[in-house]
Amino acid sequence: MLKTQLESVSKISLTTDMWRSSHQVVEYMVITGHFIDGGWNLHKRVLSFVKVPAPRREIDVADAIYKCLKTWGIENKVFSVSVDNASYNDSCLRCLKDNLSLSGKLILGGSLFHVRCCAHILNLLVQDGLSKIKDTIFNVRESVKYINHNDGRLKAFCDVVEQKGLRERKLIIDCPTRWNSTFKMLSTALKFKIAFASYKEREPHYDFAPSLEEWDKVEKVCKLLEVFDRATHVISGSEYPTANLYLAEVWKVKEILDKMDEDEDLFMREMASPMKVKFDKYWGECNLLMAIASVLDPRCKFHMVRICFPKIYKSQEVADENIKKVRSSLDDLYDEYVALSLAEASAAAADLNSNNQPSSQANVAVVKIGFDEIMSIIQENEAISPIKSELQEYLDEGIYILNTTSFSALDWWRNKSMKYKILSKMVADILAIPISTVASESTFSVGGRVIDEFRSRLSEESVEALICGGDWFRHKYNVTKNSKNLRMLAAVARVLIVSSFHFLHHPYQPAAAAAPFQPSLGGGFPPLFSINRHTPPQHLDLNVSLHLAVAAYPNVSPSP
């Protein structure tokens, strides 16, 4: 079914990332495909989950991605690849880009091919800023660790909290490499700031209480990080298009950095300096993707670009130059889709003529070829070109005014697809581009449950089958985190796992069900496979029996 879907789409965008399994001490790479189908539904599917041999080399990663594309038959359909900002990814995508250019032409000369993960860029920005107040963060972190160290300290702190009439009841420790968890730790600790001071008076060995000056820093930093947290949440979505939302979030970040640079507090200005350097490194040059995608949002068109570019770039002159670059690239992109559409129409007409032409008229056909060519030239010269292209007509129309708070760009373009037949195809490919690698990173949370201590010896083929199969299974049957199907399949998964272990270790002992084990899933779910008590253990593939369990309910433990 997925193979059929991929055959029907014109372009597909990819995200890819690396993950090291702690139980196998092996590095895996996941490749996720993103595309919009004929019904204007956005899809993401795990296409590959493969082992990357050590030492990891850029050419090996590029070859693994290309092999995946060849396997699925989509090497000529790749629009873009979104990766994080690791240095090896630059070399890897250059190799991949060269390989793909040999088999087909990349859209817009490949200028939209390499997409840097926006969430990763924001992480680098914030980490550089937080490094300027690392001592303050250290005191808050050590305070949380100290209080959570044992029940006695925690109870004493809770007593103080109760005396102060605070509603909060829990402190959160962060993961230092993830700024959003540091933000949660700081924002939560800030609610307890009066409790920390009182706790210090009762606990003589507690030496990490932040000062009032440090709490003021924490308060200002939390207001700053709240903006970054909202931006990360918006751009990290994978169930809705994010490319058209990209520019507005970058503009908001730049606005905040400019305000920090003029702040009265020295520490805020010191934080802003390295963050602005990082901003200019990644967004200092014109980013065509975020600009073109925002123009193709009917609520914005070129208004968004004209508002945001003067703020993002250093001077009005540079902003105007970049706006012209966006318009020129947009025209070139549309022209490419027009050419592709004409080529497809010509190919379809040629196929129709070849199918309808009798073999006895082969000689007549040869004569007609020359005549048809002359007629094409005459019609071309006489034909009156349309006054406006679809792109120009779209841009000349007014922006879409919202009547409600909710808006779906996909729904809008689906309703306009008959009016803008060529432009809508271009829009579908642009809106399918993910601007973060979160979709691929989320696969690793499932990978950690698949390759746990119970399944650390799974072969790489079995791991890939479990990860990919689980992803396809959930999408095929619409199994979501809170769905009724998930609760039903969880029960089936538990029975399945216990039965699998029983047949593995006691293949000839009577089981509860003497007949072949065929779980009836109901709701249109077909039986998946049979396990028989007479099945020899060497023929019983436990990996297959765990497939459903991991796919439908990844948190189920395989321990019988």
- Model confidence at 28: pLDDT above 70: yes
Which of the four pLDDT bands, split at 50, 70 and 90, describes residue 212?
very high
Whether 125 shows a pLDDT value over 60: the answer reads: yes
| Dihedral-angle region of residue 328 (phi above 0 means left; psi in -120 to 50 means alpha; beta otherwise) | alpha
Q: What pLDDT sits at residue 503?
A: 43
Q: What percent of the chain has pLDDT over 90?
A: 52
C-alpha 13/C-alpha 494 separation (Å) is 36
Domain range list for the chain: 1-117+437-480+487-492, 118-236, 237-345+394-399+411-435
pLDDT tens, 64-103? Answer: 999 999 999 999 999 999 999 888 899 999 999 999 988 7
Which ranges of 313-361 does DSSP label H, i.e. alpha helix? 316-356
Domain 1-117+437-480+487-492 has CATH 1.10.10: no
The secondary structure element, H or E, covering residue 46 is strand 42-52
Q: What angle do CA 482, 486, 489 make, to 5 degrees?
A: 165
pLDDT at res. 454:
58
pLDDT at res. 446: 58
Q: Give the per-residue pLDDT at 491.
A: 52
Task: Print burial letters for 235-249: b (CB count within 10 Å at least 16), e (below 16).
Answer: bbbbeebbbbbbbbb
Whether the pLDDT of residue 50 is over 60: the answer is yes
Encode pLDDT of 387-402 as tens digits: 689 999 999 999 998 8
Residue 430: pLDDT band by 50, 70, 90 thresholds? very high
Nearest to 145 by CA among 208, 222, 213: 208
374 vs 421 pLDDT, higher one:
421
Please tell me the pTM assigned to this model: 0.79
Residues 18-55 as b or e (16 or more Cβ within 10 Å = b): bbebeebebbbbbbbbbbbeeebebbbbbbbbbbbeee
pLDDT for the residue 485: 55
Q: With 60 as the cut, is the pLDDT of residue 315 above it? A: yes
pLDDT in tens, 347-357: 777 766 666 65
6 falls in which pLDDT band (50, 70, 90)?
A: very high
pLDDT at 314 over 90: no
Q: Given a cut of 90, is residue 279 above it in pLDDT?
A: yes
Whole-number Å distance between alpha carbons of 76 and 101: 9
How do residues 158-195 score in pLDDT, each as one tens digit?
999 999 888 877 899 998 888 989 999 999 999 999 99
Q: Which of 9-23, 265-279, 539-553 ranks highest by mean pLDDT?
A: 265-279
> Which pLDDT does position 138 carry in this prediction?
95
Give the model's pLDDT for residue 450.
Answer: 58
Mean pLDDT of the chain: 81
pLDDT at 556 over 70: no
Q: How many helices (H) and strands (E) does the chain have?
A: 22, 5
Alpha helices in 73-192 (DSSP H): 87-103, 118-130, 134-148, 151-163, 179-190
Model confidence at 334: pLDDT above 90: yes
> Considering only 154-158, 161-165, 294-298, 401-405, which range has the smallest mean pLDDT?
401-405
Can you give the pLDDT at residue 360? 47
Predicted pLDDT at 344? 83
Answer for the pair 48, 113: CB distance below 8 angstroms, yes or no. no
Cα–Cα distance, 502 to 513 (Å, whole number): 12
Distance separating alpha carbons of residues 42 and 425, to the nearest angstrom = 13
Residue 135 CB coordination number (10 Å): 10
* pLDDT band at residue 137 under the 50/70/90 scheme: very high
